[in-house]
């Protein structure tokens, strides 16, 4: 069975500071990793994904994520946080081991303080 852990329910960061939202995963086979963002009472928006290749993935709105196979992690990062980045962030994983299912973490609430 595949799983995702987001160890922090909430992350607070000052505007202009770098931010990191943590994610670790467990799968059989090759992992495909995704980050999504959700604003209140809205659907999820895709930010970025890792399939293969370069471990540093760049996505929308200045976000990036680093795939670390040995640590089974896929942390989301941004060099300089904006107040408008405040939202709920979800990490998700699927694998090539015969499953089409995307498994989500429980989400991390990011608050950027002005």
Q: 113 is written with which tokens?
A: 């303080």
Cα(104)–Cα(94) distance, integer angstroms: 9
Cα(41)–Cα(43) distance, integer angstroms: 7
Distance of CA 46 to the CA centre of its chain: 10
Q: Does 106 bind another protein (CB under 8 A)?
A: yes
Report the site for another protein in 41-60 (rule: CB under 8 A). Answer: 41-46, 49, 51
Q: Does 12 bind another protein (CB under 8 A)?
A: no
Q: Does 24 bind another protein (CB under 8 A)?
A: no
Q: Does 104 bind another protein (CB under 8 A)?
A: yes
Min. distance of Cβ 16 from another protein in angstroms?
29
The CA-CA-CA angle for residues 69, 23, 39, to 5°, reads 140
Which positions lie near another protein, rule CB under 8 A?
9, 32, 34, 36, 41-46, 49, 51, 90, 94-96, 99-102, 104-107
């Amino acid at each position: 069975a595949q799983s995702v852990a987001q160890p922090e329910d909430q992350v607070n960061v000052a505007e202009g500071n770098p931010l990191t939202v943590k994610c670790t995963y467990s799968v059989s086979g090759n992992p495909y990793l995704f980050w999504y963002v959700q604003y209140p009472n809205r659907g999820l928006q895709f930010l970025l994904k890792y399939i293969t290749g370069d471990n540093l993935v760049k996505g929308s709105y200045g976000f990036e994520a680093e795939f670390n196979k040995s640590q089974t992690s896929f942390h989301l990062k941004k060099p300089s946080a904006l107040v408008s980045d405040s939202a709920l962030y979800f990490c998700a994983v699927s694998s090539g081991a015969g499953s089409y299912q995307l498994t989500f973490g429980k989400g991390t609430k990011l608050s950027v303080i002005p």
